[in-house]
């Protein structure tokens, strides 16, 4: 597997968020391309302790790409500190939430990108104001990717909050800037064909791959395998 996510992929990769090393091993074995360290009990983008993230990286041993959530910092100085803490764990990518205010601070964005060179992905929430210029600003600051997620885990899903045109505009803007793009937010396996048409770098899952669709429950390896199979099926569809 390539060590880098492509900015203009033919098919998206499958990101699965995990909360410990045992889930990480399960996700990789079931077909996850990108194993993402996150604490689902701490909100949309809760960070795990660096020690746990190191254990997840050790468990994966190169079988998949890895990423870790650095949290939801509210101001610029905290942004760089959070990123640096996760960058030191050895993950391939660091993900961090950016408020609309932080997205307008070029110096804070650049400092965060320097804390994880060529490894930092911005997480923008669908509930916030998404601006057309956001991808270009992030690329200029040194980020390698940007994704959209949902902040409120209240049953509303990404397709409910962002229509086709806005999702497509985001992924197109990312490709134009050379950024990897991601789409997530209470997604289900049946969303894969629709969202793959936007050509994101990856599609992110947690709750939809857990028992009972509850993000704080255990991951279900059969659901992970079904998601991986759904992405593979797109290649056969496109070749037909």
Work out how many domains the chain is built from and give that number.
Answer: 1
**Locus of tokens 């033919």:** 10
121 part of a folded domain: yes
81 part of a folded domain: yes
Q: Which of 13, 54, 95, 157 is catalytic?
A: 95
Predicted pLDDT at 44: 87
1 part of a folded domain: no
Which candidate, 55, 58, 16, places its Cα nearest to that of 33?
Answer: 16
- Per-residue pLDDT tens digits for 109-168: 999 999 999 999 999 999 998 999 999 999 999 999 999 999 987 778 999 999 999 999
4 part of a folded domain: no
Rounded distance between C-alpha atoms, residue 84 and residue 117, angstroms: 10
152 part of a folded domain: yes
φ, ψ of residue 3 to 5 degrees: the values are -75, -10
Domain residues for 210? 13-239
5 part of a folded domain: no
Q: 153 an active-site residue?
A: no
Domain CATH for 230: 3.20.20.380
Rounded distance between C-alpha atoms, residue 199 and residue 197, angstroms: 5
Predicted pLDDT at 153: 72
Predicted pLDDT at 212: 85
Low-confidence ranges of the chain (pLDDT < 70): 1-3, 238-240
Q: Which of 18, 28, 32, 38 is catalytic?
A: 38
Predicted pLDDT at 239: 64
6 part of a folded domain: no
Q: 3 an active-site residue?
A: no
Sign of the alpha-carbon torsion through 150, 139, 34, 18? negative
């Amino acid at each position: 597997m390539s060590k880098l996510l492509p900015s203009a992929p033919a098919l998206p990769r499958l990101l699965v968020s995990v909360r410990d090393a045992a889930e990480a091993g399960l996700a990789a074995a079931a077909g996850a391309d990108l194993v993402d360290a996150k604490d689902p009990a701490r909100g949309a983008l809760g960070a795990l302790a660096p020690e746990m993230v190191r254990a997840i990286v050790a468990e994966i041993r190169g079988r998949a790409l890895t990423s870790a959530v650095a949290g939801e910092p509210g101001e610029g100085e905290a942004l760089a500190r959070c990123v640096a803490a996760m960058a030191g764990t050895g993950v391939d990518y660091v993900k961090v939430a950016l408020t609309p205010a932080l997205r307008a601070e070029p110096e804070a964005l650049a400092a965060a990108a320097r804390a994880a060179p060529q490894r930092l992905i911005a997480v923008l929430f669908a509930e916030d104001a998404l601006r057309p210029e956001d991808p270009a600003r992030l690329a200029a600051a040194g980020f390698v990717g940007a994704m959209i997620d949902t902040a409120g885990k209240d049953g509303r899903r990404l397709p409910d909050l962002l229509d086709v045109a806005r999702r497509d505009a985001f992924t197109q803007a990312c490709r134009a800037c050379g950024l990897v793009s991601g789409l997530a937010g209470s997604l289900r396996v049946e969303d894969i064909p629709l969202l793959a048409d936007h050509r994101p770098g990856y599609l992110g899952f947690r709750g939809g791959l857990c028992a009972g669709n509850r993000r704080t429950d255990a991951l279900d390896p059969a659901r992970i395998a079904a998601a991986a199979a759904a992405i593979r099926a797109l290649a056969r569809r496109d070749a037909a």
